[in-house]
Chain A
Amino acid sequence: MIEIRFHGRGGQGAVLASEILARAAIKEGLSASAFPFFGVERKGSPVTAFCRIDDRPIRLHTGIYEPDHVVVLDQALIRLTDVLSGLKENGTVLVNSPRRPEDLGLATDRPVTTVDATSIALSHRLGSPSSPIVNTAILGGLARQCDIVPIEAILDAIRFMAPAKKEENARAALEAYRRGGS
Chain B
Amino acid sequence: MIDALTANQAAALAAKLARIEVAAVYPITPQTTISEKLADMVASGGMDARFMLMESEHSAMSALIGASYVGARTFTATSSHGLALMHEVLMWASGVRRPIVMPVAARTIGGPWNIWGEHMDVITERDVGWMQFYCENNQEVLDTILMAYRVAEDPSVMLPAMVVVDGFILTHTVDAVDVPEQGLVDDYLPPFRPDPVLNLDDPRRFGLVMPDWWTEFRYRIATDMEGAKERIREADREFGRIFGRRYGGLVEHYRTEDADAVLVVAGSAAGTAKEVADRLRDEGLMVGVARLRVFRPFPSEEIAELSSKRVVGVFDRSYTFGDGGAMYNEVRSALHGSDNIVKNYVGGLGGRDVTAAHMEWVFRNMLDIADKGLDRRVEWVGLRDGSGRW
Binding site for B on A (CB under 8 A): 18-19, 22-23, 26-27, 31-36, 38, 57-63, 65, 157
Which residues of the partner chain B approach A19 to less than 8 Å between Cβ atoms? 4, 174
Closest to B173 in A: A35
Which residues of the partner chain A approach B272 to less than 8 Å between Cβ atoms? 59-62
Least distance between A139 CB and chain B CB atoms (Å):
15
The DSSP consensus for interface residues of chain A is: mixed
Stretch at the interface among B50-58, B61-69, B75-83, B349-357: B349-357
Known: A26-B3, A38-B172, A60-B271. 5 other contacts (CB 8 A): A23-B174, A36-B172, A57-B176, A62-B272, A157-B4
Closest to B166 in A: A61
Cβ contact of A61, chosen from B3, B4, B176, B271, cutoff 8 A: B271
Least distance between A161 CB and chain B CB atoms (Å):
9
Cβ contact of A26, chosen from B166, B176, B351, cutoff 8 A: B176
Which residues of the partner chain A approach B268 to less than 8 Å between Cβ atoms? 61
- Beyond A38-B116, A62-B354, whether A22 also contacts B271 by CB under 8 A is no
Which residues of the partner chain B approach A34 to less than 8 Å between Cβ atoms? 173-174
Q: Chain B: interface residue count, which band?
A: 20 to 34
Q: Is the CB of B4 within 8 A of A26?
A: yes
Measured in the bound complex, the distance between the Cα atoms of B167 and A61 in whole Å is 12
Which residues of the partner chain B approach A32 to less than 8 Å between Cβ atoms? 4, 174-176
Closest to A40 in B: B115
Which residues of the partner chain A approach B137 to less than 8 Å between Cβ atoms? 59, 61
Cβ contact of B4, chosen from A23, A36, A60, cutoff 8 A: A23
Q: Is B274 in the interface zone, CB < 8 Å from A? A: yes
Measured in the bound complex, the distance between the Cα atoms of B168 and A49 in whole Å is 13
Measured in the bound complex, the distance between the Cα atoms of B173 and A18 in whole Å is 10
Least distance between B347 CB and chain A CB atoms (Å):
12
| Interfacial residues of chain B within 337-369, with CB under 8 A of chain A in the complex | 351, 353-356
Which residues of the partner chain A approach B356 to less than 8 Å between Cβ atoms? 60, 62
Measured in the bound complex, the distance between the Cα atoms of B137 and A157 in whole Å is 22
Q: Is B169 in the interface zone, CB < 8 Å from A? A: yes
Q: Is the CB of B355 within 8 A of A33?
A: no
Give 14 CB contacts A-B under 8 Å.
A19-B174, A22-B4, A22-B174, A23-B174, A26-B2, A32-B174, A33-B174, A35-B169, A58-B175, A59-B274, A61-B173, A61-B354, A62-B353, A157-B4
Which residues of the partner chain B approach A31 to less than 8 Å between Cβ atoms? 176
Q: Is the CB of A60 within 8 A of B174?
A: no
- List the 7 closest pairs (A to B, CB-CB), nearest first: A59-B271, A23-B4, A61-B268, A35-B173, A38-B168, A34-B174, A26-B4
Closest to B30 in A: A38
Measured in the bound complex, the distance between the Cα atoms of B272 and A65 in whole Å is 14
Which residues of the partner chain A approach B275 to less than 8 Å between Cβ atoms? 59-60
Choose among B175, B269, B355 the residue with the greatest number of A CB atoms under 10 Å from its CB. B175
Which residues of the partner chain B approach A63 to less than 8 Å between Cβ atoms? 353, 355
Which residues of the partner chain A approach B101 to less than 8 Å between Cβ atoms? none
Q: Is B263 in the interface zone, CB < 8 Å from A? A: no
Q: Is B170 in the interface zone, CB < 8 Å from A? A: yes
- Beyond A23-B174, A26-B2, A58-B175, whether A38 also contacts B351 by CB under 8 A is yes
Which residues of the partner chain A approach B117 to less than 8 Å between Cβ atoms? 38
- Beyond A33-B174, A35-B174, whether A61 also contacts B2 by CB under 8 A is no
Q: Is the CB of B175 within 8 A of A33?
A: yes
| Interfacial residues of chain B within 149-180, with CB under 8 A of chain A in the complex | 166, 168-170, 172-176
Measured in the bound complex, the distance between the Cα atoms of B176 and A157 in whole Å is 14
Q: Is the CB of B172 within 8 A of A35?
A: yes
| Interfacial residues of chain B within 201-218, with CB under 8 A of chain A in the complex | none
Choose among A26, A31, A36 the residue with the greatest number of B CB atoms under 10 Å from its CB. A26
Which residues of the partner chain B approach A57 to less than 8 Å between Cβ atoms? 176
Q: Is the CB of A33 within 8 A of B271?
A: no
Closest to A35 in B: B173
Least distance between B55 CB and chain A CB atoms (Å):
26
Measured in the bound complex, the distance between the Cα atoms of B34 and A4 in whole Å is 27
Least distance between A52 CB and chain B CB atoms (Å):
9
Q: Is the CB of A61 within 8 A of B116?
A: no
Closest to B175 in A: A33
Measured in the bound complex, the distance between the Cα atoms of B351 and A63 in whole Å is 11
Measured in the bound complex, the distance between the Cα atoms of B137 and A32 in whole Å is 12
Closest to B168 in A: A38
Least distance between B113 CB and chain A CB atoms (Å):
11
Measured in the bound complex, the distance between the Cα atoms of B3 and A22 in whole Å is 10
Measured in the bound complex, the distance between the Cα atoms of B173 and A31 in whole Å is 13
Which residues of the partner chain B approach A27 to less than 8 Å between Cβ atoms? 2, 4
Which residues of the partner chain A approach B175 to less than 8 Å between Cβ atoms? 22, 32-33, 58
Measured in the bound complex, the distance between the Cα atoms of B137 and A26 in whole Å is 15
| Interfacial residues of chain B within 102-159, with CB under 8 A of chain A in the complex | 116-117, 136-137
Least distance between B7 CB and chain A CB atoms (Å):
11
Least distance between B336 CB and chain A CB atoms (Å):
31
Choose among A31, A32, A61, A63 the residue with the greatest number of B CB atoms under 10 Å from its CB. A61
Measured in the bound complex, the distance between the Cα atoms of B138 and A26 in whole Å is 14
Closest to B167 in A: A38
Least distance between B108 CB and chain A CB atoms (Å):
12
Closest to A59 in B: B271
Measured in the bound complex, the distance between the Cα atoms of B374 and A144 in whole Å is 54
